[in-house]
Structure 1
């Protein structure tokens, strides 16, 4: 359990062992976004790769260009399966002697085992350091980040979600909701977390996971545990903008990435849903999405599912949802609340009306105009 749970009013998230909130989720959102709160991410995993070949080796397996990464420079990359589906979303920062790989909870041990099997004769050493180090995050450049930097973190990972990275491409039209996203994750030795909590006071408070999730959903920011399933590919989440380099060369799953972007279209698309707040109810993750006026029809087929739903301090009830590409971008939708594991043909559960804010357009992909061959 995290030392942050010793803070007043801390309510634990039982699945992660860190604070879900500290009694004021909406105020915590404001403080976190305003740079006057820190968020405890000590439940997440940390894998450290050292050795002279570390960057070229990681570059050969993952989707982002990692060779030439400067000390202190942050990026993110995806480790895909041979069919291009996302197995690991990895936040990367190199300190000049070793690469720090930050992953979601429960993934560090598996990632360490996979990378260890792939070492062959290269000069690399892989270690799961999740028990030794922990992550604390802060937004902007305000009092919260200054507090963390005064405590001398091992490394800082600066989220690149703010803009399209070198070699990437954006599917979203117009200004991206994450254009002003400024989130830094600082890595500390675990015995330094008590110093972080001791530094909290009237100028800097703690915020829980609920506050971070609300800001992520509003900024269209996908996460592995929050939004992915076993079929997810980068194109469906507009993750091509920060985690994929389209001209870097071969890596596992690269053929699918190139084919979908150049010739095909992603089968699903991430969208932000604005939820009707009449009942003050949020759907559970995995809740099914239907076209308007069909959610109560036991024969109706769902057109998508909710990945995360949250109450935002300004926007009210919002959710990220994966929809079929064929769903019209202007279609009004309905979400069937209740148990995500319920029978899809069951009409039980309340219905929440929802409207779309398009993230990945229906016409994403197919960037190359390949002329059709004439046939007899």
Structure 2
């Protein structure tokens, strides 16, 4: 992942018990440092913070996240041609997800896509907005659009958990929209956007606030007494890993294609044509069985360290079969990680994630039937008909 611009420390670091993410090069052995410095690693007890998401709501700090804004009359048709998503006629207030691929179909950019009030907001992982804005600017040509990396002006807060909608509504006095929708909210420094992820994305339960940076501290302070428990990057990573929610720049590599990730179902419109990399996506989808898949790894809890993002996943003999992504200690499952591994690796295969013993979670065993080619025909059906 590209380095994040410097915004100074988050105002949430002033909350009681806040412990900042250690600087780069001083990776926390317990995981959860993938968002980078400037935000809280935890607020005193990351296990309590994780449980709070299952029993109520937690407040996650997106101070270092990125935002690209696109305006102009051609914005939707132009982005439709550049991304994997069908956005040419997107209704106002719609939230979706999109990717930009290389000519070979590798994922180069990932974004949450919000069309609201004549502006598209593209929400990205930390450090990803600058490269995305640069790419879009190069692709402008004669289109009537203006692309701006607005990360210096905008940040995000996310309320996650079973009571997220209730907490946000009570704290801010707003009606929270349905999944896949966004609305404008007013803050003293200026308007912000309140949004929810699209249905089926795994993020539809989250309530996300894209805000002027000057509003973040006040809004966060209003959410706390309404029941949003501040949770650091340790808890955020553990919750995302357990939910198999990959993060761009951490859980993918330069060879990743959408078919290997949940993004195929949330960020790719399979009936849409004419975007860069489409041939690879369509071919692998039609043939079935992509070369790799995203899995959850259960890690040896007796090890004195965790693997690091980018470490190889290997067989005991040393042959590499995958790559480690996000890593964290979970409050129930212990040390866990997401990894991209070869499709043939299953729960019975002994693995090493970096130097740590690991195994694919049994719920992530490959289903070869589900990955069969779309053209496959069960010829037994013909025999049954013939007998009839």
Conserved? CA contact 1:275–1:354, under 8 Å:
no
The worse-fitting range, judged by mean Cα deviation, of 42-51 and 313-322 is: 313-322
Residue in structure 2 matched with residue 154 of structure 1 by the alignment: 192
- For residues 173 and 272 of structure 2, the distance between their equivalents in structure 1, rounded to whole angstroms, comes to 34
- For residues 359 and 111 of structure 1, the distance between their equivalents in structure 2, rounded to whole angstroms, comes to 34
Conserved? CA contact 1:270–1:360, under 8 Å:
no
Shift of 1:280: 6.7
The worse-fitting range, judged by mean Cα deviation, of 201-210 and 128-137 is: 201-210
Conserved? CA contact 1:133–1:188, under 8 Å:
yes
Name the SS for the 1:357 alignment partner: helix
Residue in structure 1 matched with residue 357 of structure 2 by the alignment: 351
Residue in structure 1 matched with residue 338 of structure 2 by the alignment: 320
TM-aligned CA distance change 1:146 to 1:48, over 3 Å: farther
Conserved? CA contact 2:347–2:360, under 8 Å:
no
Conserved? CA contact 2:300–2:335, under 8 Å:
yes
Residue in structure 2 matched with residue 186 of structure 1 by the alignment: 209
Aligned pair count reads 338
TM-aligned CA distance change 1:232 to 1:243, over 3 Å: same
- Pick from 107, 111, 114: which aligns with 2:128? 107
Name the SS for the 1:303 alignment partner: strand
Residue in structure 2 matched with residue 340 of structure 1 by the alignment: none
Name the SS for the 2:280 alignment partner: helix
Q: Give the alignment's Cα RMSD to 1 decimal.
A: 2.5
Render the CA deviation track for 1:149-198: whole Å, top value 9, x for unaligned. 657462133223x527xxxxxxxxxxxxx4x8612221111110121233
The worse-fitting range, judged by mean Cα deviation, of 349-358 and 85-94 is: 349-358
Residue in structure 2 matched with residue 22 of structure 1 by the alignment: 43
- For residues 375 and 232 of structure 2, the distance between their equivalents in structure 1, rounded to whole angstroms, comes to 44
Shift of 1:309: 2.0
Name the SS for the 2:52 alignment partner: helix
- Aligned positions of 1:275-290 closer than 5 A: 275-279=299-303, 281-290=305-314
Conserved? CA contact 1:76–1:91, under 8 Å:
yes
- Answering whether residue 345 of structure 2 is matched by residue 334 of structure 1, we say no
Residue in structure 2 matched with residue 169 of structure 1 by the alignment: none
- For residues 353 and 368 of structure 1, the distance between their equivalents in structure 2, rounded to whole angstroms, comes to 33
TM-aligned CA distance change 1:286 to 1:361, over 3 Å: farther
Render the CA deviation track for 1:42-67: whole Å, top value 9, x for unaligned. 10110111111111110111001112
Unpaired runs of 5+ residues, structure 2, are 1-8, 24-35, 175-184, 378-388
- Pick from 206, 230, 239: which aligns with 1:215? 239
Shift of 1:228: 1.1
Render the CA deviation track for 1:301-341: whole Å, top value 9, x for unaligned. 122222122222222222211111232x342322244xxxx
TM-aligned CA distance change 1:313 to 1:79, over 3 Å: same
- For residues 265 and 107 of structure 2, the distance between their equivalents in structure 1, rounded to whole angstroms, comes to 15
Name the SS for the 2:249 alignment partner: helix
TM-aligned CA distance change 1:97 to 1:26, over 3 Å: same
Unpaired runs of 5+ residues, structure 1, are 165-177, 338-348, 371-376
- Aligned positions of 1:231-310 closer than 5 A: 231-263=255-287, 265-279=289-303, 281-291=305-315, 294=316, 297=317, 300-310=318-328
- Answering whether residue 115 of structure 2 is matched by residue 97 of structure 1, we say no
The worse-fitting range, judged by mean Cα deviation, of 239-248 and 148-157 is: 148-157
Output the TM-score relative to the length of structure 2: 0.80
